Chain A
Amino acid sequence: MDGTQFMTFHDLAYDAGKTDFQRKAEVIGVGREGELLEVAMGPQHPSTHGVFRMDVVLDGETVVKLKPVFGYLHRNHEKIAENTSYLGSMPYTDRLDYFCSLTNNWAYALAVEKLAGLQVPERAEYIRLITAELTRVLNHTCLAGFLLQDMGALGTPLMYAFREREKILDLFESLTGARMMCNYMRFGGCRCDLPAGWLAEARKVVAEYPKFLDEFDALLSGNEILMARTQGVGKLSAELAINAGITGPMLRASGVDYDLRKVDNYGIYSRYPFRVPLGDHGDVYDRYMIRMLEMRESLKILEPALKDIPEGPVVDPKAKLRGFRPKPGEAYGRIETPKGELGFYLISDGSPNPYRYRVRPPSLINLTILEDMCLGQTVADAVITLGSVDIVLGEVDR
C-alpha cells in the first residue's frame, strides 16, 4: 500500500451530506465496495484492553476505516461527583485510571487546592512526588508487558512486569491500606504519614529497579522481532499530535518536547533535574522506548527525593475535611500522569458539592487519532497501535 494517500477521519467529517457508502467508496477508491469486510473488534476481545470496541473496515487485511466505539464502561463519574461532596469524589478518582490511582488523586487534590487556596506542607509535597513517580514506573512497566502481550509474546513479559508491579503495590499497601484504590491524597496534603520503615523499603525497591529494567531491555528492547514488528508502525506526525491535543508519552514519541512536570512546575519537580526523552519517528517502537527511558528518569527523581524528605506535618492545618465549602469560583488543576495530561475542571457555587465537575482524560483524547494511525496498515498492526496508545477504559468512558 506504499504511496497511497488515505483520507482520514478528519477530512471526512466535513462532508456531512454524504452517506456512509459514499465516504467508504471515497476512502478506498470507487468500485471496490464488494471486497470490503466489516469487523467489530470488541467489546469482548483479548486485545482491546477492556471493553473498547473498534469497528474496522478491512480490504483484505488492510484497514481502510476504523471507528472507535466508547461507552461500554460509562460509570457516570462526573454526574456522581456533582451530587456528592468534594471529598466524596476522591475515591471515585481512583477508579478513573485504575493503574495510577495516586496520580489521579493528586490531580483532583490540586484542582480543589487551587479552588480553595490551600497550601501543601513540604513533607506532603515530597510524599506526593514519590508516590506519583512510583505510579509512573508501575504504569509503564505494566504497559510494556501488555504491549508485548498484544504482539504475541504471551506470558513471559507480562509475568515479569507483574512481578515488579507487586513490589510497588506492597509499598502502596503499607502506606495507604489498599493495593490499587489508594484514596490517599487530601486537600492540602495527604491522609496519613509514612509508616515506620517505609522509606527504607522504598529505597530498596528503587535501588533494585534498574536491574529489572536492564533485564527487560536485554530481553526485549533490541529484540529483532520486536523491532521488525513495531518500527514504522502506527506513525503519528508531530503536527497531527499537537492539533489533536495529544499529551504524554504519545506526544513526546512524536518529538514534541512537552512535559507538564517541566511546563507547569507543579509540586517540587523543579528541584530535581531529569531529562524528558523524545522520539524521532512517532511509531510504536518510539512509544515503547520513551516509556522505558521515562522509567529510568523517574528512578533518578526518586533516589534523591527519598533521601531529602523532611520531617513535618503532612496536611495543611487550615484544611478542614468536614463542612468543606470553597468560595464560588472555578479552577483547573492538571498534572502529568503516566498517560498524559489529566485535568480536573471544577466550578464551585459555594455549596458543599461542585456545581460542575469535569475530567479531561488523557486516554480518551489520545485515542481520538487512532484511525489516522491505523489506516493503510494490517489489522494486526492496528492491535499493537492501540496497545501503544496506553488506554484505560475507566478513564476513556468515565
Chain B
Amino acid sequence: MDDGLRNELSKQGVVVVKLEELYNWGRKNSVWPLSFGLACCAIEMMAASMARYDLARFGAEVFRPSPRQADLMIVAGTVTKKMAPQVVRLYNQMPEPKYVIAMGACAISGGPFKQGYNVLKGIDRYIPVDVHIPGCPPRPEALIHAFMTLQRKIDAQKLTGPDRARHLNADLPSEFPVPLFGEHDLVPSKNPNVWRPAVVVR
C-alpha cells in the first residue's frame, strides 16, 4: 500500500498497518527490565526510573525481580568473575524475545577496574549486547537514550525472512553456556560465538 492511500484512509479513521509494525509497536512500548543492579550504575538506573527522569514515559517502569518475567537485562555495573556465571544464568532464564543493555564503562569493557584480577572485561564476552552505554556512571539521560535506541532496534526487527529476529529463528541460540570457575580464570574466558573484538582498521 502506498503512503498516499494510507494517509487518506487514516484521515477517515481507518488505520492500516502491517502486522509486523503493530507487533513491534506493542513490544517496544512495554519492555520490562530486570531489576538487577550490580554496582554504582544501578543507582543511576534507579534514578532514571524515579521522579525526575521517569522511565515510565517509555513503558519501561515495571522492574521485575524475576528473570522469568523480564524482557530486558540492564547490566548496570562491574561484572566480576565471581558474578559473571550468575549474570549469564540470569540471561538464560529470561524468555525470548530478550535484550541486553550494557550500562557503564565496567559492563562494556571493565572500565576503570579493567586491570583488576577479578573483573570481567566486558559482559559481551558471554552474552550478546544490544546497546552499549559509555560513562562512569552514565547519566540517566544516557540510559534513556540507550532505551530509545533499543526501541528503534525492536521497531526494525523482521518477523519473516532470512534476517528475521532471533527469537523467531530456531537456528539461532537463545541460551549461552555458563562459564565455570577454572584454576586461574573463568573457563572459557570468552564465548567466541558471541564475542567479536573490534577490528582496528589503519
A residues near B (Cβ < 8 Å) are: 43-46, 50-51, 71-76, 79-80, 83, 91-92, 95, 98-99, 158-159, 162-163, 165-166, 179-181, 393-394
B43 touches A73 (CB 8 A): no
A159 touches B51 (CB 8 A): yes
Which residue on A lies nearest to B113, using beta carbons? A75
Mask for B81-124, Cβ within 8 A of A = 1, else 0?
01100100010000000000000000000001101111100000
Mask for B33-49, Cβ within 8 A of A = 1, else 0?
00111111011101100
CA distance A79 to B113 in the complex (A): 10
B118 touches A165 (CB 8 A): no
Complex interface: chain B residues within 8 A of A74 (CB): 80, 82, 118
A179 touches B139 (CB 8 A): yes
Tell me whether A162 and B39 are in contact in the complex, defined as CB-CB below 8 angstroms, given that A92-B112, A180-B137 are known contacts. no
A98 touches B40 (CB 8 A): yes
Which residue on A lies nearest to B54, using beta carbons? A159
Complex interface: chain B residues within 8 A of A99 (CB): 43
Tell me whether A181 and B46 are in contact in the complex, defined as CB-CB below 8 angstroms, given that A73-B80, A76-B116, A162-B51 are known contacts. no
A394 touches B40 (CB 8 A): yes
Residues from 124 to 149 in B contacting A, C-beta threshold 8 Å: 136-137, 139
A95 touches B38 (CB 8 A): no
Contacts A/B (CB < 8 Å), 10 sampled = A43-B83, A44-B90, A50-B37, A75-B116, A76-B115, A80-B113, A158-B46, A162-B52, A166-B47, A394-B40
Which residue on B lies nearest to A53, using beta carbons? B86
In addition to A44-B67, A51-B37, A98-B40, 17 A-B residue pairs with Cβ atoms within 8 Å of each other are A44-B86, A50-B38, A73-B38, A73-B39, A73-B77, A74-B82, A75-B78, A75-B118, A76-B113, A76-B115, A76-B117, A79-B117, A158-B50, A162-B46, A180-B137, A181-B40, A394-B40
B39 touches A98 (CB 8 A): yes
CA distance A296 to B113 in the complex (A): 37
A31 to chain B, nearest CB (A): 36
A180 touches B39 (CB 8 A): no
CA distance A316 to B136 in the complex (A): 29
Q: How many residues of B contact A (CB 8 A)?
A: 33
Complex interface: chain A residues within 8 A of B78 (CB): 73, 75
A138 to chain B, nearest CB (A): 11
Tell me whether A95 and B82 are in contact in the complex, defined as CB-CB below 8 angstroms, given that A44-B90, A46-B65, A80-B115 are known contacts. no
- Majority SS at the chain A contact face: loop
Complex interface: chain A residues within 8 A of B35 (CB): 46
CA distance A94 to B118 in the complex (A): 19
B119 touches A166 (CB 8 A): no
Which residue on B lies nearest to A45, using beta carbons? B65
CA distance A244 to B113 in the complex (A): 31
B52 touches A163 (CB 8 A): yes
Which single member of B38, B67, B116, B139 contacts A79 (CB below 8 Å)? Answer: B116
Complex interface: chain B residues within 8 A of A394 (CB): 39-40
A80 touches B47 (CB 8 A): no
Complex interface: chain A residues within 8 A of B67 (CB): 44
Tell me whether A91 and B38 are in contact in the complex, defined as CB-CB below 8 angstroms, given that A73-B78, A73-B80, A98-B43 are known contacts. no
CA distance A166 to B36 in the complex (A): 22
A75 touches B80 (CB 8 A): yes
Q: Which of B40, B80, B139 has the most chain A CB atoms inside 10 A of its CB?
A: B40
Tell me whether A162 and B50 are in contact in the complex, defined as CB-CB below 8 angstroms, given that A46-B65, A75-B80, A80-B115 are known contacts. yes
A72 touches B65 (CB 8 A): no
A153 to chain B, nearest CB (A): 15
A181 to chain B, nearest CB (A): 6
B187 to chain A, nearest CB (A): 19
Complex interface: chain A residues within 8 A of B39 (CB): 50-51, 73, 75, 95, 98, 393-394
Complex interface: chain A residues within 8 A of B52 (CB): 162-163, 166
Which single member of B36, B50, B82, B115 contacts A72 (CB below 8 Å)? Answer: B82
CA distance A43 to B119 in the complex (A): 16
Which residue on A lies nearest to B78, using beta carbons? A75
A344 to chain B, nearest CB (A): 18
A180 touches B83 (CB 8 A): no
A73 touches B115 (CB 8 A): no
B83 to chain A, nearest CB (A): 5
Which residue on B lies nearest to A165, using beta carbons? B47
The 8 A-B pairs of least Cβ separation, nearest first, read A76-B116, A162-B50, A98-B40, A46-B65, A163-B51, A75-B113, A72-B83, A166-B52
